[in-house]
């Protein structure tokens, strides 16, 4: 039996935002850099909690600097193809959703897919800004586990504690 990947409305908005970013930058494709910009623009819930310690404006500026301006003519953003790395991020997002037991692929899975893909600009900049895949995954699973009523236990890292404190889920100090 094949696993049906249902994308939430939030992840659909992030993918639309990624296409808009590619078009704005005059790129003829959607790559990891555009996916990261789309996630930064639309993140809510646990994805927003993972991104909270970052300076989103500085991260977006670094992504744009590394991606550089494109030369393509403005066109319908819906027609822009994904790069092989962009497709890989989507595959990794689906895998993250499946491995976590989620019924739908959401923005947090897209963020984890970006962090998991090692070569693309999007993930490289996010990791360079201090995000770590293991910590981000722990935050996501902790927050989504609470909604599902499961008990997620882990030894939290420093960033995880900062994010949980920021979200009001752990005492400050």
pLDDT in tens, 61-113: 999 999 998 888 766 656 799 999 999 999 999 999 999 888 899 999 999 99
Residue 6's pLDDT is 87
**Residue 152 near residue 46, CB atoms below 8 Å:** no
The closest of 143, 148, 106, 140 to 10, measured between CA atoms, is 106
In a domain, 42, yes or no: yes
Question: What predicted TM-score, i.e. pTM, was given to this entire model?
Answer: 0.80
Q: The CATH number of the domain where 121 resides is what?
A: 1.10.1780.10
In a domain, 122, yes or no: yes
In a domain, 166, yes or no: no
In a domain, 121, yes or no: yes
Strand partners, 104: 6
Rounded CA gap, 100 and 129, in Å?
Answer: 25
**Residue 89 near residue 110, CB atoms below 8 Å:** yes
In a domain, 24, yes or no: yes
Three-state secondary structure call for residue 82: strand
Structural domains in the chain (count): 1
- Domain range for 49 is 6-132
pLDDT digits (tens, 9 = 90+) for 5-58: 689 999 999 999 999 999 999 999 999 999 999 999 999 888 999 999 999 999
Residues 6+ apart with CB under 8 A from 100: 109, 140, 141, 144
The residue ranking higher by pLDDT, 123 or 45, is 123
User: What DSSP designation does 118 have?
Assistant: S
Rounded CA gap, 138 and 152, in Å?
Answer: 9
Residue 142's pLDDT is 85
pLDDT digits (tens, 9 = 90+) for 127-168: 999 999 999 999 998 887 744 444 343 444 555 555 555 555
Residue 165's pLDDT is 56
**Residue 6 near residue 105, CB atoms below 8 Å:** yes
Residue 11's pLDDT is 95
């Amino acid at each position: 039996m094949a696993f049906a990947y249902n994308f939430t409305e939030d992840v659909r908005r992030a993918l639309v935002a990624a296409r808009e970013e590619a078009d704005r930058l005059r790129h003829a494709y959607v790559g990891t850099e555009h996916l990261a910009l789309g996630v930064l623009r639309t993140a809510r819930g646990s994805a927003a909690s993972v991104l909270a310690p970052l300076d989103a404006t500085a991260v977006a500026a670094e992504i744009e600097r590394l991606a550089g301006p494109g030369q393509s003519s403005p066109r319908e953003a819906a027609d822009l193809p994904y790069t092989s790395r962009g497709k890989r991020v989507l595959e990794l997002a689906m895998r993250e959703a499946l491995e976590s037991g989620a019924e739908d692929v959401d923005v947090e899975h897209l963020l984890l897919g970006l962090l998991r893909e090692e070569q693309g600009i999007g993930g490289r900049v996010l990791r360079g800004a201090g995000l770590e895949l293991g910590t981000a995954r722990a935050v996501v699973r902790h927050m989504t586990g609470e909604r599902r009523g499961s008990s997620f236990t882990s030894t939290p890292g420093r960033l995880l504690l900062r994010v949980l404190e920021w979200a009001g889920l752990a005492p400050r100090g």
